Structure 1
């Protein structure tokens, strides 16, 4: 058997290789054995793979089982395949593998199981395979401790010399990533980026200094650690720990909106009295200076108040009047020693912002984004919505993320919300259970969201010269929002599809398009709702023209004006042909590049002898991707007797 292997790249054929193989065919009543079911596995180092492989033979023949894989040659932990039982028509063997670090690699191991019967007539075999992916265990991250402008990570010893070191990954804010049993490393979609690498299999710590520039106050940093094996394979990701820099003295505890207004709003600012202040270099008196900047990430601070103190007990301040409705604010508090002749700033300034809630309307929903810039970690955000009957605010849900959506609302009705944050400083003996409130923000849901795009299929009806489009929307909630569909068409792949039909009935799921003699083209369908919101297009589906080129196999050049010329049936797609006609001796009788052929049955001016002639024909058609070629070959029966007719084909 000869096989032609074509190599394609970027939609174009770049090479062809012909290979042959020998197939021996035997007539036999023997039936091959069958292996029992196998399943692919993903297992961590330290785990044990242990399962039984069975094989049965329908003819009751004895069976020999074999297994082949690289897992049987791994130096420190080779797999084993041992026979358990073997009787006529049945055999079983046990596969066992105690996984070690040496077996970790990026690609899964392929294991081939072969069951061969011992039939005296001819031996037959069943061959099946499965894969086992070996993953390095996740490191155990113990701590992410802030120290000035850096954060020090500490994790447990990994316990093997088969690794070269550890990759350190970081993102802003906590993630919701849950690692499955077959995933190593961290997918890009998690938002983690690699910020460092520490070499050595005994490494247990890393200092994140942001490449020497120092980390930023007010950011929450979430870390994961991954072991890197000597072959470059990453282990599973560690647990994540979120940390933040401690921004100095005094420690701010509250920046909480106490009144929402565009002109008369107020924010409560609270901080903790410095408890371990060294009064020898800073004997006092002291002074708190409070600065404010617009926005939760503002940098243009202005002093708004100074609070002289002899005992540091003044630790609250209400800032008013403010526009708390449209923006958040960030505060900076400095503690100064005001001893005459010895005035200086004590420690670093403390920064913290208010919680600002941004809300946007959706179709029967409200979407929220939380903005905050604080030196502690907020672990929970509770959302409250105003009850239109009691005018009280009721709890509607909680999250640890900075986004939230309230669903199943009524369009064109106003709803008002606020959010309550709960957080704590991470280090011991620092403030915990920090409660702060956002401003009250109102929104009116409206139908501004398009429906889901339909799923499209297209089939060509070559004999009727039309394309049949069918689509569906499986999601009931998406389908409920649909009012109709729009159909788009382009003749070629490069053209931008244009609107050809609008269907104002959501329950119509098909459309027939008659493009003319050429049925090739590309289609897309969108859905729209009652408000006129249109979805994105479905996946663009392209269909090529039907191969419609037919050369008659009989014609009669007998000068009776009936079927006197060989005329091909051709569509408008055919641009040219390379037609060659040969007699039985291989002599070229006729050739042309005309799509219709139009041969009068002559050779060198004379009607050819009656008989069978062989042709080769390359047909060049215009397709959606350009000019393409296909090949035809066959026979033409030439009949020259007077009164000869083409026999009619009977139809059933």
Structure 2
């Protein structure tokens, strides 16, 4: 079908629909709300879908009619009629009938489609649109069909959209969106439509500032609050002020792998009544998690508010308390959506008039329920006053994340002695088969040393635990061989399962198991003795090898590398000038930059009878220094440290003498100006808290954003084997930190002084320089900026530099100025209250806008100083006579004094007969603005003495572009007396 034919047919269908509905009732009014969703047809093809439109009809309107579904793919729209009608298909108040329209469709290709539904008319009396009874109802949902992203069905909206609220009370609606594929959902407000991408006439949101539908919140705070929570989907109106019907539209957007793959459109009606009743209150449990296969048991409590509000104490009104019903809003026998159909919720009423309800929630999710996104359970409480039209309800969300069960039976087996001898260094992992539906991979992690990790609602292995990813295998695997290990460390492993997309999800991590791989010798100390950029010191220590050939003695070479990862051999520097022999297993590495660089070390082991016959036979596992980093905030400083070492940095205990002592890393601190020496400030039980610490200050000594804090960490570690003495104590480098400073300095106060050839030029009245007094070079002007800082209680006084701003035109903001033309440091030793200056030299002009901003040591920039805008005083005066007679005096026609602020000139000489005899045009960027005309015409012939005229155009330097061209004209005399030669 050609596009023109399709468009004509579509128009005829729409007109036919309008005509059919018009036959029923010329003023047909009925639709309150609706939404449009799609799902893949069971056992259908990849692009076969069932489109479902659910409408909500005002029972006071006409009976259900036909609607038009457009598939958005160029095929013909189709008429559909309501089906599956039952006498009970009404909302709880009985005022709205629920209608279902469906159509099946096979889309022609992959792509994005806008599927829409059209029908006339909406119900009458909607406040926030014009003449709703004559306005079509139109919804359009968008859907992506892309096999690369996987098969897909749109979210379903399980909570009906026709909701009642009360004047002055907070109103909340939630669509109860559930995505069967487990895709991530977000929510976005839109406008109500009457046609494809066509808003209804004069649509206004309920908080339109030109209306009085919203004034204050339920708590009488301004302004009123109307929005949709983009994460939870709560549509909130806090609070309506005028009774009536309002229509609101929003999209439920569906995301997969960060890609928007669809959006479901809901157009809903909010009915606000002047109700003498208060909505019930729900107390839901805190969001939680549950492992698949384990039951979750929680209680939900709801009660009716019985106290009349303070603004109305009429005791004759029916304030309650009323009976309260409580249920799961998404749970419906008519629409048995899993997993809501599997949730049990038994409610028991109590209190006065059964005004309290306690719901016992129970659910045992299965492996098929594991997913990345939490399940949203929405509870609904409804009170039951004597009059149904006074009834109010409340919604409350609760989120449950279903986790996969942890893999079991993990065993880590180190290489045996034969394998070590043959250099077959590996750790073999075995675990039980993971029998959980939907799992696709087992991810393997390890760290050096053991750590307690008891996750609650945490899957996988967070970075703070120190575990690093090794590899992954299929979910049906039960073993793995790790060949990336080295001798000299205790490797501890955990594994967890991941679940396939789109639902995704992870399991809880397994229990830990460790495998120690012995070595001939071990690095046991890389301790920062001194922090310095050029005189740093590092204490190194290692153990004497135990596997020497009988009759041989050990020797050592120590190698240093930057960073904490193994490098190529060529990148290492040997730091001992000769072999270190025997029992000497320490070395001080000096003259290094421990302030800015992390180092690691390797010890090469040699054996022989003396240094001349020593032969290398092994190398220790590398060990790095402990590197301390910081993340400062406004009122606290986070410290994080790490090291790549063979020992465990987070053991729970170490042996000290005959005792086991808990391991705490120690935090040492000093404050600039207050303390000259470090003192022990605090400690961290790193086995459970990790290698991190937050300094919040002390109750009697909060952190000060005007002070510098310097830290270092003393770490304690263990190889967790009896052969190596413990504890292993190593210090980090010293690190100086300040709180995150967001307070900018105050703006400086700026003054300008202009100079011409070094002489102050305060006004346009100053005489221009005379010829001979100064050279008339163009770059003879300068501007000196002088400013003073404003220091006060509301401004930072840690100013370290200044940004200089300049613009040729009138500018007032940083955006108009653009980037600074220069940045200068505050002069060393100069008080902040003293003036600071900056000279802009060697310029052809002084016009423009000038400003300065102060910058503190955290990079915060002040607002601009006062902006000074100035223009140039242009000066260009030509003589009324000259004598081109070759006497070297007044031989050329030039300006009488040095021109000011002239960039170029176009100049023409005219004789007394009106003929142009000479023309001159200065060349831009190399312009001789002084003309220097010798009295000859354009052909090089000398002009006769007499009267001449001139005209020309000056191109000047001015603040405004429209002022830059200046027309000049005048007359002069050529005089030719006797030459002096």
Partner of 2:290: 44
Partner of 2:330: 69
The C-alpha deviation readout for 1:226-270, integer Å capped at 9, x for no partner, is 443577442465389799996842112123355778888765432
More displaced 10-residue stretch of structure 1: 178-187 or 395-404: 178-187
- For this pair of structures, how many residues does the alignment match? 463
The answer to whether the 8 Å contact 2:551/2:609 transfers is yes
1:396 aligns with 2:671: no
> What is the deviation of 1:273?
3.2
Partner of 1:101: 366
The answer to whether the 8 Å contact 1:30/1:119 transfers is no
The C-alpha deviation readout for 1:598-623, integer Å capped at 9, x for no partner, is xxxxxxxxxxxxxxxxxxxxxxxxxx
Partner of 2:439: 164
Instruction: Give the Cα–Cα distance (whole angstroms) in 2 for the partners of residues 386 and 269 of structure 1.
Output: 29
The answer to whether the 8 Å contact 1:382/1:419 transfers is yes
The C-alpha deviation readout for 1:397-446, integer Å capped at 9, x for no partner, is 45664798898579799x9875533222255644431113456x696x89
Instruction: Give the Cα–Cα distance (whole angstroms) in 1 for the partners of residues 632 and 398 of structure 2.
Output: 48
Partner of 2:649: 378
The C-alpha deviation readout for 1:559-578, integer Å capped at 9, x for no partner, is xxxxxxxxxxxxxxxxxxxx
Partner of 1:481: 796
More displaced 10-residue stretch of structure 1: 6-15 or 370-379: 6-15
Match of 2:572 among 290, 295, 300: 300
Instruction: Give the Cα–Cα distance (whole angstroms) in 2 for the partners of residues 453 and 177 of structure 1.
Output: 47
> What is the deviation of 1:392?
5.4
Looking at both structures, which has the greater relative contact order when contacts are Cα pairs under 8 Å and sequence separation is at least 6? Answer: 1
Instruction: Give the Cα–Cα distance (whole angstroms) in 2 for the partners of residues 397 and 100 of structure 1.
Output: 44
Instruction: Give the Cα–Cα distance (whole angstroms) in 2 for the partners of residues 446 and 24 of structure 1.
Output: 52
Partner-residue secondary structure (3-state), 2:406:
coil
1:16 aligns with 2:308: no
Match of 2:815 among 479, 497, 509: 497
Partner-residue secondary structure (3-state), 1:377:
coil
> What is the deviation of 1:331?
3.1
Instruction: Give the Cα–Cα distance (whole angstroms) in 2 for the partners of residues 179 and 527 of structure 1.
Output: 52
* CA spacing shift, 1:378–1:450, aligned 2, 3 Å: same
The answer to whether the 8 Å contact 2:304/2:383 transfers is no
Match of 1:197 among 447, 472, 489: 472
More displaced 10-residue stretch of structure 1: 51-60 or 96-105: 51-60
* CA spacing shift, 1:418–1:41, aligned 2, 3 Å: closer
Partner of 1:273: 544
Instruction: Give the Cα–Cα distance (whole angstroms) in 2 for the partners of residues 395 and 271 of structure 1.
Output: 27
The answer to whether the 8 Å contact 2:744/2:856 transfers is no
Partner of 1:349: 620
Q: How does 1:331-370 map to 2 (within 5 A)?
A: 331-338=601-608, 345-355=616-626
The C-alpha deviation readout for 1:18-42, integer Å capped at 9, x for no partner, is 7999999999x99678444143632
Partner-residue secondary structure (3-state), 1:161:
coil
Partner of 1:290: 557
Instruction: Give the Cα–Cα distance (whole angstroms) in 2 for the partners of residues 424 and 60 of structure 1.
Output: 65
The answer to whether the 8 Å contact 2:544/2:554 transfers is no
- Provide structure 2 residue ranges, at least 5 long, that are not aligned to the other structure: 1-122, 124-131, 143-187, 201-246, 249-266, 306-317, 416-423, 651-664, 685-689, 698-702, 747-792, 806-812, 819-851, 864-981
The C-alpha deviation readout for 1:488-547, integer Å capped at 9, x for no partner, is 9xxxxxx993369xxxxxxxxxxxxxxxxxxxxxxxxx996777953599xxxxxxxxxx
Give the TM-score taking structure 1 as reference length.
0.50
Partner of 1:534: 860
Partner-residue secondary structure (3-state), 2:578:
strand
Instruction: Give the Cα–Cα distance (whole angstroms) in 2 for the partners of residues 363 and 289 of structure 1.
Output: 49
The answer to whether the 8 Å contact 2:705/2:741 transfers is no
* CA spacing shift, 1:237–1:22, aligned 2, 3 Å: closer
Instruction: Give the Cα–Cα distance (whole angstroms) in 1 for the partners of residues 542 and 440 of structure 2.
Output: 42
Q: How does 1:100-179 map to 2 (within 5 A)?
A: 100-102=365-367, 103-105=369-371, 106-113=373-380, 115=382, 117=384, 119=386, 124=391, 126=393, 128-136=395-403, 139=406, 161-162=436-437, 164=439, 167-168=442-443
> What is the deviation of 1:44?
1.7
Partner of 1:434: 728
Instruction: Give the Cα–Cα distance (whole angstroms) in 1 for the partners of residues 448 and 794 of structure 2.
Output: 35
The C-alpha deviation readout for 1:327-346, integer Å capped at 9, x for no partner, is 66543223345489x98654
Give the TM-score taking structure 2 as reference length.
0.36
Instruction: Give the Cα–Cα distance (whole angstroms) in 2 for the partners of residues 533 and 287 of structure 1.
Output: 54
**What do you get for the CA RMSD once the two structures are aligned?**
6.5
- Provide structure 1 residue ranges, at least 5 long, that are not aligned to the other structure: 455-477, 489-494, 501-525, 538-652
Larger-gyration structure (1/2): 2
Partner-residue secondary structure (3-state), 1:497:
helix
Partner-residue secondary structure (3-state), 1:396:
strand
Instruction: Give the Cα–Cα distance (whole angstroms) in 2 for the partners of residues 220 and 301 of structure 1.
Output: 27
* CA spacing shift, 1:320–1:402, aligned 2, 3 Å: same
Instruction: Give the Cα–Cα distance (whole angstroms) in 2 for the partners of residues 76 and 362 of structure 1.
Output: 47
1:423 aligns with 2:717: yes
Instruction: Give the Cα–Cα distance (whole angstroms) in 1 for the partners of residues 507 and 469 of structure 2.
Output: 15
Instruction: Give the Cα–Cα distance (whole angstroms) in 1 for the partners of residues 739 and 272 of structure 2.
Output: 70
Match of 1:318 among 587, 591, 603: 587
* CA spacing shift, 1:367–1:294, aligned 2, 3 Å: farther
Instruction: Give the Cα–Cα distance (whole angstroms) in 2 for the partners of residues 30 and 373 of structure 1.
Output: 68
The answer to whether the 8 Å contact 2:322/2:354 transfers is yes
* CA spacing shift, 1:8–1:256, aligned 2, 3 Å: same
The answer to whether the 8 Å contact 1:49/1:98 transfers is no
Instruction: Give the Cα–Cα distance (whole angstroms) in 2 for the partners of residues 230 and 294 of structure 1.
Output: 42
Partner-residue secondary structure (3-state), 1:305:
coil
Match of 2:521 among 246, 250, 253: 250
The C-alpha deviation readout for 1:119-146, integer Å capped at 9, x for no partner, is 5876946363533414226738978787
1:451 aligns with 2:722: no
The C-alpha deviation readout for 1:83-112, integer Å capped at 9, x for no partner, is 545985646353321433354442423345
> What is the deviation of 1:356?
6.4
The answer to whether the 8 Å contact 2:606/2:617 transfers is yes
More strand by share: 1
Instruction: Give the Cα–Cα distance (whole angstroms) in 1 for the partners of residues 456 and 540 of structure 2.
Output: 46
Instruction: Give the Cα–Cα distance (whole angstroms) in 2 for the partners of residues 434 and 481 of structure 1.
Output: 44
Instruction: Give the Cα–Cα distance (whole angstroms) in 1 for the partners of residues 512 and 795 of structure 2.
Output: 42
* CA spacing shift, 1:74–1:185, aligned 2, 3 Å: same
The answer to whether the 8 Å contact 1:258/1:268 transfers is yes
The answer to whether the 8 Å contact 1:78/1:97 transfers is yes
The answer to whether the 8 Å contact 1:249/1:334 transfers is no
Q: How does 1:639-650 map to 2 (within 5 A)?
A: none
Q: How does 1:603-614 map to 2 (within 5 A)?
A: none
Partner of 1:81: 346
The answer to whether the 8 Å contact 2:533/2:593 transfers is yes
> What is the deviation of 1:189?
11
Instruction: Give the Cα–Cα distance (whole angstroms) in 2 for the partners of residues 159 and 258 of structure 1.
Output: 49
Instruction: Give the Cα–Cα distance (whole angstroms) in 2 for the partners of residues 215 and 332 of structure 1.
Output: 16
